[in-house]
């Protein structure tokens, strides 16, 4: 069945957290908590035919039937309705880069209408693109990939629409919540590292910049990760390289923050499985890096590895999931204030995620060859900066999303230079 319990299913703790971020962003004049996935094709794609296929897709129709029933107190519900809004599917001709960034990558998605919007583009150079914009409360990154497959094949697995709830006793839920609250709800420090200089506004749209690496460069960067102490995966090295790049910008500003606070999303889906379509299955790890731990790239990487191991032993992601589940019963405004406590309102020093390479990587969409795929996360401001590491066809890509309130154009050039140098570990050369 698509929905248990007479057509309703409770919003998960992770979904509720994404609704919290949505409120935080809208309070600062931003479009909201929207995730985007861009597919890049060659020149020979019939956009009208693709639009027709998307409009008639079973997946599009199903998404249009799902609505959020929020509650001012208690747990909200996802519900399915017989009456459905239409997904906005638009074709754009002769689009330039400026239009793509200012309009397509900042398109609003309203849960009161459809949770997704789709843009099909023919760029000035005749390259064809498709961008799916979706509300993060209903889709995590893995869910977005599953949506792509459902749209491409016009097929839905109704047994895998939602995550299977894990039964947890009320006592264990409360105990886990108290244990992790002691770690997270510490008093704020006014010397938190952050690039954001002011709050966002409706005219301050997110800006995105790509760093692309060849297969050979990707291999070298992964060798550098191991040589700097990231033996269990590249993420600690990528995070350390990002922190040191931000630190370099702050030093140019003559700022001297005492620590970084970095909640890092963790995919909670079973490894090796496609998993469900709707709802977030995420938790977080939390890294607090002090100024003294930034003496070198190796030192920063090893500090992150140690904190990672410690949090795995303490089951921090699992305990935080229980906290999120418990906090569904709070008014979202109170929940938001609690999340902001450790950072004096900024949520984090900057946002970071490492998506890696999808084991079941999509090569074709609706029979059309893909040349590239790009994930665009939301960019809350504050903190006004996100770095996302991803791989497609064994090539590393770093997406930097930022607001002008956090980075000026010259600072962006410096940040990309420092980040590239850190990834290639030029300090050892």
CA distances 204 to 25, 231, 240, 386, Å, are 12, 40, 28, 15
Q: Which of 160, 185, 203 is the last residue of a domain?
A: 160
Q: What is the per-residue pLDDT for 361?
A: 87
Whether the model clears a pTM of 0.75, i.e. scores above it, the answer is: yes
Peptide bond into 45 cis (omega under 30): no
Instruction: Give the three-state DSSP class for 225.
Output: helix
Q: Could you give the CA distance from residue 145 to residue 263 in angstroms, rounded to a whole number?
A: 23
Q: Which of 134, 160, 186 is the last residue of a domain?
A: 160
Q: Could you give the CA distance from residue 282 to residue 13 in angstroms, rounded to a whole number?
A: 9
Query: Residue 274's domain is classified under what CATH number?
Result: 3.30.559.30
Counted domains in the chain? 2
pLDDT in tens, 280-298: 999 999 998 988 888 899 9
Please say whether the beta carbons of 352 and 264 come within 8 A: yes
Q: Could you give the CA distance from residue 212 to residue 191 in angstroms, rounded to a whole number?
A: 33
- What is the extent of the structural domain holding 33? 8-160
pLDDT in tens, 185-242: 555 555 788 888 765 454 568 999 999 999 999 999 999 999 999 988 999 999 999 9
340 or 267: whose pLDDT is higher?
A: 267
Does 224 share its domain with 144?
A: no
pLDDT in tens, 34-92: 999 999 998 889 999 999 999 999 999 999 999 898 776 667 899 888 777 788 999 99
Please say whether the beta carbons of 419 and 242 come within 8 A: yes
Radius of gyration, alpha carbons of the chain? 21
Does 106 share its domain with 153?
A: yes
The answer to the question of residue 168 being in a domain is no
CA-nearest of 5, 21, 13 to 340 is 21
The answer to the question of residue 228 being in a domain is yes
The answer to the question of residue 325 being in a domain is yes
The torsion region of residue 347 among left (phi > 0), alpha (psi -120 to 50) and beta comes to left
Does 409 share its domain with 285?
A: yes
The answer to the question of residue 405 being in a domain is yes
Does 185 share its domain with 303?
A: yes
Does 202 share its domain with 75?
A: no
Does 296 share its domain with 423?
A: yes
Does 184 share its domain with 147?
A: no
Q: What is the per-residue pLDDT for 256?
A: 86
The torsion region of residue 384 among left (phi > 0), alpha (psi -120 to 50) and beta comes to left
- The kind and range of the H/E element at 197 are none
The answer on pLDDT for 6 being more than 50 is: no
Q: Could you give the CA distance from residue 193 to residue 411 in angstroms, rounded to a whole number?
A: 16
Does 255 share its domain with 397?
A: yes
Q: Which of 160, 190, 217 is the last residue of a domain?
A: 160
């Amino acid at each position: 069945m698509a929905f248990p319990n007479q057509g309703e299913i409770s919003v998960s703790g992770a979904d509720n957290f994404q609704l919290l971020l949505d409120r935080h962003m809208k309070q600062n004049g931003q479009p909201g908590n929207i995730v985007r996935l861009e597919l890049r094709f060659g020149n020979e794609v019939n956009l009208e035919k693709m639009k027709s296929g998307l409009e008639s897709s079973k997946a599009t129709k199903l998404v249009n039937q799902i609505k959020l029933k929020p509650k001012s107190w208690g747990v909200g519900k996802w519900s399915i309705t017989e009456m459905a809004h239409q997904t906005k599917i638009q074709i754009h001709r002769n689009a330039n880069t400026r239009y793509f960034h200012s309009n397509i990558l900042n398109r609003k998605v309203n849960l009161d209408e459809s949770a997704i919007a789709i843009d099909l583009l023919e760029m000035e150079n005749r390259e064809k693109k498709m961008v799916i914009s979706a509300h993060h409360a209903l889709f995590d990154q893995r869910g977005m990939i599953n949506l792509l497959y459902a749209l491409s094949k016009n097929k839905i697995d109704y047994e895998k629409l939602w995550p299977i709830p894990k039964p947890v006793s009320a006592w264990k839920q409360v105990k886990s919540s108290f244990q992790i609250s002691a770690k997270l709800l510490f008093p704020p420090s006014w010397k938190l590292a952050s690039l954001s200089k002011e709050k966002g506004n409706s005219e301050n749209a997110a800006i995105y910049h790509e760093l692309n690496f060849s297969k050979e460069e990707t291999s070298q960067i992964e060798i550098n990760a191991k040589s700097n102490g990231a033996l269990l995966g590249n993420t600690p090295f990528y995070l350390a390289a990002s922190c040191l790049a931000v630190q370099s910008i702050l030093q140019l500003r003559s700022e001297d923050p005492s620590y970084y606070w970095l909640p890092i999303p963790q995919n909670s889906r079973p490894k090796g499985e496609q998993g469900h379509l709707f709802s977030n299955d995420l938790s977080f790890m939390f890294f607090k890096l002090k100024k003294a731990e930034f003496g070198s790239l190796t030192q920063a990487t090893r500090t992150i590895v140690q904190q990672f191991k410690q949090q795995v032993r303490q089951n921090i992601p699992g305990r935080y999931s229980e906290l999120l589940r418990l906090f569904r019963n709070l008014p979202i405004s109170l929940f938001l204030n609690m999340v902001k406590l450790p950072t004096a309102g900024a949520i984090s020093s900057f946002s970071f995620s490492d998506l890696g390479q999808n084991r079941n990587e999509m090569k074709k969409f609706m029979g059309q060859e893909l040349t590239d795929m790009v994930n665009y996360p939301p960019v809350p401001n504050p903190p006004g900066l996100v770095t996302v590491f991803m791989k497609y066809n064994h090539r590393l890509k770093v997406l930097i999303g930022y607001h002008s309130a956090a980075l000026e154009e010259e600072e962006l050039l410096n940040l990309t230079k420092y980040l590239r140098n850190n990834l290639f570990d030029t300090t050892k050369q």
